[in-house]
Amino acid sequence: MRTNKNLEVKSKAWKHLFFLCALCVLCGFIGCENHWMKEATAHMHRHNFEWREIIDTGEESIQTLACTTGCNTTRGTRIEMRVGGILNYEGGIITGGQPDDAGLLIIPARINGVNITAINTSAFRNNTNIKEVEIAYGVQTIGNLAFTMCINLETIDIPDSVTSIGNQAFLNCYALTEITIPDSVTLINNGAFGGCYRLETVTIGREVTTIGWQAFYFCSALKTVNMLRASPPTLGDEVFLLSTSTGENIPLENIYVPLGSGDAYKAASNWIEWAGIIVEAP
């Protein structure tokens, strides 16, 4: 009897062992199959993640780490501050600084939570490293002599929040070839762009009421002025007076004004001398 019972126990043990082994083999197969399927899927679609911009506020760029290989997978977002040199500031006023290695200077609307409203007097005076300036919306004043003698400054983006351009703010910025004064500006001060001898085209916004003395004096390449204001602004003395080294005057080729404004410009004080080249824009 004991022998039969022992045989029965051993038989059951072997059955259990066989079942466990079979289960392990099955699980291993399933695991391998799933692993193979994952590998196959990964081979069919390999993710390639890159940072992509979704919002640019001017001061910062909000980016998402997104797959670029045809799916909607993302792995998070980040805020990337726009980099363009090093700035010095006191409160909301930019007092100086240096551009980046490429010569780009970015003046943001906010720094460390402080609203930037002005560029100080002589902030970047004589800075020969600056080639390009981007000013964010929010800055209201470009101070006297702010960029004077920035002789390598080629382009500047003035936002439609600036209301005043100071005395000699861009005096002798030799590399400037074109400038657009936005509609927000009401005052272009004395000598603001004097001596910019490569300046060829100027566009002056609709709200400018005063153009100061010698604002574009000695701009010997200046050929075209686009006036967007319907009524002529007050024009200071010698605003567009041009002369060569021999003292010979070089007149502008065209001053374009809005349709219906030609007669008013031609009759206005200090605009009279330019009456022959005042043309209503088509």
Sign of torsion over alpha carbons 71, 72, 77, 83: positive
* List of residues 6+ apart from 230 with CB closer than 8 A: 206, 258, 260, 261, 264
Q: Residue 27's pLDDT is what?
A: 46
Q: 200: pLDDT confidence band, cut at 50, 70 and 90?
A: very high
Rg (CA), the chain: 35
Give the residue from 45, 53, 48, 54 showing the smallest Cα distance to 67. 48
Q: Are 217 and 241 in contact (CB under 8 A)?
A: yes
Per-residue tokens: 39: 């590998």
CA dihedral 126→127→132→133, nearest 10 degrees, is -80
Q: For residue range 90-135, list pLDDT tens digits in order.
A: 999 999 999 999 999 999 888 887 889 999 999 999 999 999 999 9
For the segment 241-269, the average pLDDT, to the nearest whole number, is: 82
Q: Which residue matches tokens 């890159």?
A: 50
DSSP, res 116: P
For residue 43, pLDDT over 80 is answered with: no
Per-residue tokens: 248: 């010979």
pTM score: 0.71
Q: 57: pLDDT confidence band, cut at 50, 70 and 90?
A: low
Residue 230 vs residues 133, 143, 204, 278: alpha-carbon distances, Å: 30, 27, 11, 13
Report which residue type is found at 208. Answer: V
> Could you tell me which residues are beta bridge partners of residue 48?
none
Least confident of 86-90, 109-113, 240-244: 240-244
Q: Is 270 exposed, middle or buried (0-12, 13-18, 19+ CB in 10 A)?
A: middle
For residue 37, pLDDT over 60 is answered with: no
Cα–Cα distance for residue pair 263/1, rounded to 1 Å: 131
Fold of 84-280: 3.80.10
